[in-house]
Amino acid sequence: MFAVILVGGVGTRLRPLTTTTPKPLLPLGQRTILEWLLTHLARGGVTDAVLALGFKPEPFLRAFPDAMCAGIRLQYAIEDTPLDTAGAIGFAARSVGLHERGETFVVANGDIITDLSVATLVAQHHDNVRAGALATIHLTPVDDPSQFGVVEHDERGKVNGFVEKPVPGNPASRHVNAGTYVFEASVLAVLPGDAPSSVERATFPELVRRDALFALPTNDYWLDAGRPATYLRGNLDLVGGVRRDRDEAIHASARIDAQAQVVNSVVGAGAHVAAGAKVIDSVVFPGATVGEHASVTASAVMGDVAAGAVIRDTLLGVG
């Protein structure tokens, strides 16, 4: 089974980390966000994936020199101009011949962190196809739907419509689009691939009009890693036992001085935390340095922290 993975975003909210590294290639525990996503897709039966690339494609090519990850064969579709979500899906799917193969395929946003069972979503989609579905989307509940566009659906899961940022207090739904979909190849007829178009604003409403969009709500762990707070939370949840998966907090090659203090944090390969330094609720990137008696709290450190510096609620880039 093929997957199309949307990884072409600029990642503005995570600058300066994303100035040099695309958001899906930022660390999540001791891997990257994209490596964890591919691992989950592989568990769900995905064997091949095409990365829909735009901004900074070169780091992706370097990250996977043998075009493999988690047992998944990788291909690349590089946009000349930004195509938005629907355009990117259509372009990438056609680049690997999915419009001709006629196969069901998965679509995933490359900056989503979730414990969703992809196999369960695919199985539900196959059931939905018998009721006329051309696409099934994963939904997740949120505490404050007024900050999102919510998805209204009936008891069978058929989507009836979307409400953008409903009035607080009495929303028709608490479920929002969670960024993982299963499409029939025929959906490509409404995914042009040669011009900018939004899957959320154009494709899904058209499928609703055709009574062909279904949804699977779940309570699986989910977050959008595109903001500083959620990016940090995604890392700390992974090493803190909140997730089904778990990763090592401190890489075996990291050097932590005996007089340093590291609490509830991720420290990457080859990183160095010097004597007297404190790292609390933070992510220290591979190869980064926290100098003597420096303090890093609730931050992500890609570059080097000078001796005695105090870093709090900060994204620290290279240099």
In a domain, 276, yes or no: yes
Task: Return all residues near 262 (Cβ < 8 A) that are at least 6 apart.
Answer: 249, 250, 256, 273, 278, 279, 280
Q: Which of 223, 240, 261 is the last residue of a domain?
A: 223
pLDDT, one tens digit per residue, over 275-299 is 999 999 999 999 999 999 999 999 9
Query: d(Cα 215, Cα 43) in Å, to the nearest integer?
Result: 21
Reported confidence tier of residue 149, pLDDT bands at 50, 70, 90 = confident
Determine the pLDDT at residue 169.
Answer: 61
pLDDT tens for residues 110-127? 999 999 999 999 999 999
Q: What is the per-residue pLDDT across 67-100, written as a single tens digit (0 to 9) for each?
A: 999 999 999 999 888 899 999 999 999 999 998 8
Q: Which amino acid belongs to residue 123? A: A
- Pair (208, 273) in one structural domain: no
Asked, for residue 45, whether it belongs to a domain, the answer is yes
* Residue 79 sits in the same domain as residue 157: yes
- Is there a domain that residue 269 lies in? yes
What average pLDDT does the structure give for the chain?
Answer: 93
274 and 219 in a common domain: no
Retrieve residue 104's tokens: 């069901």
Same domain, 80 and 40: yes
Same domain, 203 and 273: no
| Number of C-beta neighbours around residue 12 at 10 A | 9
- Quick one: tokens of 185? 């190849």
User: DSSP 3-state assignment of 260?
Assistant: coil
Same domain, 212 and 95: yes
71 and 215, same domain (yes or no): yes
Q: What is the pLDDT of residues 24-59, one digit of tens each?
A: 999 999 999 999 999 999 999 999 999 999 867 889
Q: Could you tell me the CATH number of the domain that includes residue 262?
A: 2.160.10.10
Q: Would you say residue 147 has pLDDT above 90?
A: no
Q: Are residues 114 and 19 in the same domain?
A: yes
CATH of the domain at 81: 3.90.550.10
Categorize the per-residue pLDDT at 167 as very low, low, confident or very high, splitting at 50, 70 and 90: low
* Backbone φ, ψ for residue 302 (5° rounding): -95, -35
Question: Does the pLDDT of residue 163 top 90, yes or no?
Answer: no
pLDDT of residue 110: 94
**Whole-number Å distance between alpha carbons of 248 and 267:** 9
- Name the residue with higher pLDDT: 282 or 170: 282
Whether residues 157 and 194 share a domain: the answer is yes
**Claim to verify: residue 209 and residue 273 sit in the same structural domain:** no
pLDDT tens, 207-241?
999 999 999 999 999 999 999 999 999 999 999 98
In a domain, 196, yes or no: yes
Tokens representing 299? 């931050």
Q: Count up the domains in the chain and report the number.
A: 2
The reply to whether 45 and 164 lie within a common domain is yes
Q: 189, 223, 257 — which closes off a domain?
A: 223
- Asked if 74 and 155 sit in the same domain, the reply is yes
Which domain does 183 fall in, by range? 2-223
pLDDT tens digits, 180-213: 999 999 999 999 888 899 999 899 999 999 999 9
